[in-house]
Amino acid sequence: MHQEREPAVVVDGLRKTYGTKVAVEEISLSVAEGEIFGILGPNGAGKTTTVESIAGLRVGDKGRIRVHGIDPWSDREALTKVLGVQLQESKLQPKITVREALELWSAFYPDPEPWPALAERLGLGDHLDQRFEKLSGGQQQRLSIALALVGKPRIVILDELTTGLDPRARREVWKMVENIRDRGVTVLLVTHFMEEAQSLCDRVAIVDRGRVRALDTPAALIDRASAATITTFVPSAPVDLEALRTLPGVASAHSENGTVAIEGAEGTALALMRALADQDVVPGRLRVEAGTLDSAYLDLTEDTTDDTMEKTR
Ligand SMILES: Nc1ncnc2c1ncn2[C@@H]1O[C@H](COP(=O)(O)OP(=O)(O)OP(=O)(O)O)[C@@H](O)[C@H]1O
C-alpha cells in the first residue's frame, strides 16, 4: 500500500516577536520531501525569521516546528545531520580559499560529502586555490551552496541566493538548485524574485506581514490572480480603452507605443475579441499569454510605497 511520506518540514502556528516588533504573526506551512518550496514576499515580511526558526537559529514565541521529525529548537545536533543552510549574505573571511573553506566545513561532519566531487559539480573545480574575495558573485554563491551541501543534508535552506547576481549567473544558480533537487534533496528557497519562484519552485508560499497569504503551485496562484492572462495586440484603428476596462474580468487595459495590453482573468480574451469587433478594430500581432506570479503577488500583498521589492521583468 502506498504510504504518505512524512513532510520534510512542518511549521505550525509560528509566532516570533523582537521586543514589540512582530516579525512573524502566525505562519503554518508544510514542505514535502523532494520539492523545491519557495517562500516569496516583500522586505520585512518575515521570511528570514521563518527559515531561521526552521534552522534552529531563532526560537519562536509560539508554535511548533519539525524537520524530518526533529525539533530544531531543542535538538540542534540532530538537526545539523539533516539540514544544510545558506543564509542571506553569508560572507566568509575574504582571504580563505575555496579549498580551505570546503575542508573546514567538511571537518564539522562525521560523514561529509567528498568535497572535491562537490566542488567539481558546482563548477568550482578550477577555483580551489582562489580566495573568497577574488571570486565573482556567482562563484561566491556556488561556494555557499557547496558549503550548505557538504554535510549531505536531506533538506537545504537557501535564502536570497541570487540577489545581486546578473541574469546569466542567476540562471546558472537556478540550474544548480534543480540539480540539487534531482539528487533527492528538498530545497526551501527564500526569494523576492517572482521570476525565480515561478520557474524554479514546485510550490510557493506568499508571505506578507508575518502571515502566509497564499500557498500553492505557481500555476495555480497565477490562475487565481485577477490578471491570469495578458493579451497584447496592435489595433488597426484607435481603441476605446475605457470600454475595454469595463468588460467582465478585465483587470487593466493600457496602450504603449501602439501596442495595447489587457490583463484579465481566464476567459477574458474571448469577450475582448467581441468588443474589438464591435469597435471595428482588427487586432494585429495578437498574443494571449499566461500571466505571471507578479499579478498573484500584487493581489495578495499590501501596497507599501517604500517597498523596495525587486522585479526581474
Ligand atoms: N533581530 C531583530 N531585531 C528586531 N527586529 C527584527 C530583527 N530581525 C528582523 N526584524 C524585523 O522583523 C521583520 C521581519 O524581518 P525578516 O528579516 O524576517 O523579513 P524578511 O521577509 O526576511 O525581509 P527581507 O526580504 O528584507 O530579508 C522586519 O520588520 C525586521 O525589521
Q: What is the pLDDT of residues 140-161, one digit of tens each?
A: 888 988 898 898 899 999 988 8
Residues of each domain in the chain carrying CATH 3.30.70.980:
226-290
Q: Contact at 8 Å (CB) between 29 and 215?
A: yes
The number of residues in the chain equals: 313
What phi and psi values does residue 142 have, to the nearest 5 degrees? -65, -35
Instruction: Give ranges for CATH 3.40.50.300 in the chain.
Output: 7-222
Give the β-pairing of 36-40 and 186-191. parallel
Question: Over 80: is that where the pLDDT of 14 sits?
Answer: yes
Residue 4 confidence class, pLDDT cut points 50, 70, 90: low
ipTM of the complex: 0.95
pLDDT of res. 298: 76
For cell 519562536, what's the residue?
60
Ligand 1 neighbourhood includes 21 CB (under 6 angstroms): yes
Tell me: pLDDT of 125 over 60. yes
Spacing, Cα 52 to ligand 1 middle (Å): 11
Q: Output the residue whose Cα is nearest ligand 1's atom 31.
A: 44
Digit-coded pLDDT (tens) for 18-44: 999 999 999 999 999 999 999 998 889
Q: Which helix (H) or strand (E) holds 172?
A: helix 167-182
Which residue has its alpha carbon closest to ligand 1 atom 7?
A: 18
pLDDT for 307: 41
pLDDT at 19: 92
Q: Looking at per-residue confidence, does 51 or 225 come out higher?
A: 51
Q: Residue 88: pLDDT band by 50, 70, 90 thresholds?
A: low
- 239 CA to centre of ligand 1 in angstroms: 46
Kindly give the distance from the C-alpha atom of residue 57 to the centroid of ligand 1, in angstroms, as a whole number: 14
Q: Are 158 and 178 in contact (CB under 8 A)?
A: no
Q: What percent of the chain has pLDDT over 90?
A: 53
- Contact between 175 and 141 (Cβ < 8 Å): no
What is the pLDDT at residue 89?
59
How far is it, in rounded angstroms, from Cα 215 to Cα 136?
34
The pLDDT, as a whole number, for residue 261 is 92
Model confidence pLDDT, tens digit, residues 288-300: 887 777 777 777 7
* Angle, helix 137-149 to helix 98-106, in steps of 10 degrees: 20
Q: What is the CATH number of domain 7-222?
A: 3.40.50.300
Q: Which segments of 14-73 does DSSP mark as H helices, in order?
A: 47-54
Query: Does residue 23 have its Cβ closer than 6 Å to ligand 1?
Result: yes
Residue 313 has pLDDT above 60, yes or no: no
Query: What is the spatial distance between Cα 139 and Cα 222, in angstroms, rounded to a whole number?
Result: 33
**Mean of the per-residue pLDDT values of the chain:** 87
What is the mean predicted confidence (pLDDT) over 256-268?
Answer: 87
Q: Ligand 1, closest atom to CA 207?
A: 21
* Least-confidence region, from 79-83, 133-137, 250-254, 262-266: 262-266
Between CA 207 and CA 47 the distance in angstroms is: 7
Task: Identify the burial level of 21 via C-beta atoms within 10 angstroms of its C-beta, where 0-12 means exposed, 13-18 middle and 19 or more buried.
Answer: exposed
The fold of 226-290 is Alpha-Beta Plaits (3.30.70)
> Looking at ligand 1, which residue's alpha carbon is closest to its atom 3?
18
Establish whether residue 41 lines the binding site of ligand 1, counting it when its CB lies within 6 angstroms of any ligand atom. yes
Which positions ≥6 away from 1 have C-beta within 8 Å?
none
Would the CB of 43 count as within 6 Å of ligand 1?
yes
pLDDT at 290 (0 to 100): 77
pTM exceeds cut of 0.90: no
Reported as a single tens digit per residue, the pLDDT across 93-102 is 889 999 999 9
Which whole number is the average pLDDT over 229-233?
Answer: 89
If you measure from the C-alpha of residue 47 to the centroid of ligand 1, how many angstroms do you get, rounded to a whole number? 8
- Strands (E) in 176-258, as ranges, are 186-191, 203-208, 211-216, 229-235, 250-256
Say what the pLDDT of residue 300 is: 74
Give the pLDDT confidence score for residue 312 in this predicted structure: 34
Exposure string for 22-36, b = 16+ CB within 10 A, e = fewer: bbbbbbebebeebbb
Residues 46 and 200: their CA atoms lie apart, in Å, by: 21
